[in-house]
Structures are given as C-alpha cells and as structure tokens.
Structure 1
C-alpha cells in the first residue's frame, strides 16, 4: 500500500490503470499471477464487498476504527497508543467470568 500511495501521490502514476497497478505490484515482488487470478475470478471484489458489509454491520463510521470483544467495544479516530494498549491488556488479562473495565 505504501508503494501504491507513493506511486500516486509522489510519482503521479495512474494507479486506476490495471497495467500500472500490476507493474507496481511486480516491482514490489508480489505474485502477479495470483493477483490476476483473484481479480479476474471476482474473488478480490467479493473480499472488498465482504469487508464493506462487515463494516456496516459493525457500525464503523470512521477510520481508523479498532473493534474488540466481538464488536462490543470500539475505539475510533485518533486514539492514543496508551488507550489502545490499556484496552488490549484488559481484554487479555481479564479473568474468565469477571466484568471487563473496557
């Protein structure tokens, strides 16, 4: 993704063009045949649609959004790393059957 962003924003390459995308992917050492097969079969598009459906289902309204605890907990926007760490630590260290502070 970083190379795609660089190609678009810095090098002014047309990343909407499939051949350009494949060239960037190839330069990045990605498996071009796998990418072509995934796009041509519709599998790549289906995956994107699935992700979009899931985001609607989970109520994701901004980016980034971190979802924990089977969707019961959301951190959205510009959240500090200490807040993220505290939430993850609480989920990992919380004994079974006990209420979470998150």
Structure 2
C-alpha cells in the first residue's frame, strides 16, 4: 500500500486498488472484494478509533509502547531509541527492586 500510494500515486481508498494490493501479497481477490463490500471489521475499526481518542491520540502514525508511552507522527530514530532506553531502564529497575540473590538463585 505504501508503494501504491507514495510511489505509484494510486488512490488507496479505491476498492480496486486495495484488491490489487492484497492480491500482490497473496490474498484471494474474491475474498478481499467480499470483505470490502461488507461491514466486516467495522466494529473493530470503530473500537480502535474510540480507544485512540480516549488516550489522546490525534496523529497517524502514533506508536504506543507498553500501553504507556506514545510517540506521535514520523520521528527520527533517536526518539525511538530514547523511548526504548527509558522503558528498558524502568523495567530493569522494577525487576531488581526487592530482589535477593544468593548462589545464582533470586527471590522476588
């Protein structure tokens, strides 16, 4: 879809374009067309939109880490590295908090 939109300039809201994209990666054209012509998936999409709105997500893409940290929009790799480093440090602190280790055996 990215290639269709950004490279080929195709309208990815056109069902024919979506079917073509799906068949390129191995989906059955008839099944894809039937899905697009139905209401299948509508509930899930609406639920995802409601969850995003509930936590203040307003940009696409938005990347959510551990359900607690979000990075909105297109960002440099440095931003993702800092978020991941902070999450790892936080998790490491939680893992070692209160641990007692004797002879390579740890009680939590």
Q: TM-score, with normalisation over the residues of structure 1? A: 0.63
Q: Name the residue aligned to 1:23.
A: 20
Q: Which runs of 4+ in 1 moved over 4 A?
A: none
Map 1:40-59 to 2 at 5 A.
40-59=37-56
Which of structures 1 and 2 has the bigger CA Rg?
Answer: 2
Q: Which runs of 5+ in 2 are unaligned?
A: 99-108
Whose relative contact order is higher, 1 or 2, with alpha carbons under 8 Å and at least 6 apart? 1
Q: TM-score, with normalisation over the residues of structure 2? A: 0.60
Judging by fraction of residues, say which structure has more strand: 2
Judging by fraction of residues, say which structure has more helix: 1
Q: Name the residue aligned to 1:67.
A: 64
In the alignment of these two chains, the number of paired residues is 93
